[in-house]
Structure 1
Amino acid sequence: MNLYFAYGSNLHQIRLESRLGEADFLGKGKLHSSEIHFHKLGGDGSGKATVQSSSDPQNVVWGAVYDLSKSQENLLDKYESLGAGYHKTQIEIEMKNGGKVPCFNYEGMREYVDYTSLPFHWYKKLVVLGSLHLKFPDKYVEFLKSIQSEKDSNPKRVATNQRLIKLMEEKNVDSHIK
């Protein structure tokens, strides 16, 4: 099993499967003593999601746990710019039932952190829609909605992501929740 903890734009199964093909959703979980930020500089110049450790165990990052094949993991490494933006970490995720599972995730590399970067509107929308689909706590969803974002000047990239967002908005929110 290659358990992946998605916390950013890959939260929603539609987004993840648009990249990797069919993926097994195991449930939602949380990473304790961590915070989500949007200051990992992407190849497109915008801010992407990353997690940072926090000294407060009450700070959590909510996410989705997927079981990926090795070939899906290798493909995801390319999408996430492994070694050139993100590095892979091994973490322990608390699942809904209170059990803990070992997962991997991607965290922004220090040299790719830019505290002035902002996510594009469409990127933020992918994260918010994923969090709504998974029914994360209202306070967490409201925090994600409050993140400042900016317009993407690339119309082709905007159109591609708007089509994906439309599919996500049309999706029955209960269809893949366990």
Structure 2
Amino acid sequence: MYYFAYGSNMSLPRLQARLSFVEKVTTCQLKNHRLTFNMLSKDGSGKCNIVSCEQGSFVLGVLFKIAPDERDKLDSFEGFGSCYTRREVELHLPNNDTRRAFTYFALRTEESVKPYGWYKHHVFHGAAEACLPESYIQSIKSVQDIKDEDISRHQREMSIYSKIAKA
């Protein structure tokens, strides 16, 4: 089963920490959409969302293959039904082919919310790891973030990267 990751799950270490079977297929593009951080999370911060918009805009991300029985687990992490809904989208691949995959769209949005720094790091890290264009990576870096006052959550979220450095 194919999953389009455009936010924090573009980071392979983050997705592997959540699911037992993950295979990166390729980078891809969702046309006529744009990336925002306007999903109002349960913790009050902003998380990634994609919204329909004018022709010419697009969201870049990573196409992953996951085990069908892992989708429910991913739904749980993503807050399916309360934070996000799941939809099938048509993606454009680098070889000019298309592929259908599921992804998540926010149910609750608030334009004024900002992401925690650790969350933005997941998105930035995933985009860099996927070798997305530098201009796209810079647009993610330019998003204003806020400090998470829950230090243990911050450390827990960032710990997946220290495991990579030790490997």
Identity over aligned residues, as a percent?
Answer: 28
Gapped regions of structure 2 (runs ≥ 5)? none
CA RMSD in angstroms comes to: 1.4
Asked if 2 retains the 8 angstrom alpha-carbon contact of 1:125 and 1:165, the reply is no
C-alpha separation between the residues in 1 aligned to 2:41 and 2:161? Answer: 20
Matching of residues 105-124 of structure 1 within 5 Å: 105-109=103-107, 112-124=108-120
Counterpart check, 1:146 vs 2:146: no
C-alpha separation between the residues in 2 aligned to 1:138 and 1:171? Answer: 27
Distance 1:83 1:132, change over 3 A: same
TM-fit CA distance, 1:167: 4.0
Gapped regions of structure 1 (runs ≥ 5)? 173-178
Structure 1's consecutive aligned runs of 4 or more residues displaced over 6 angstroms after TM superposition are none
TM-score, structure 1 as length reference:
0.90
Q: Which amino acid aligns with 2:125?
A: L
Asked if 2 retains the 8 angstrom alpha-carbon contact of 1:25 and 1:66, the reply is yes
1:32 corresponds in structure 2 to 31
TM-score, structure 2 as length reference:
0.95
Asked if 2 retains the 8 angstrom alpha-carbon contact of 1:120 and 1:152, the reply is yes
Asked if 2 retains the 8 angstrom alpha-carbon contact of 1:16 and 1:23, the reply is yes
2:42 corresponds in structure 1 to 43
SS at match of 2:127: helix
What number of residue pairs does the alignment pair up?
A: 167
2:121 corresponds in structure 1 to 125
2:72 corresponds in structure 1 to 74
Q: Deviations over 1:108-145 (max 9, x none)?
A: 01xx1011110000000110010001110111111000
Counterpart check, 1:91 vs 2:73: no
TM-fit CA distance, 1:155: 1.1
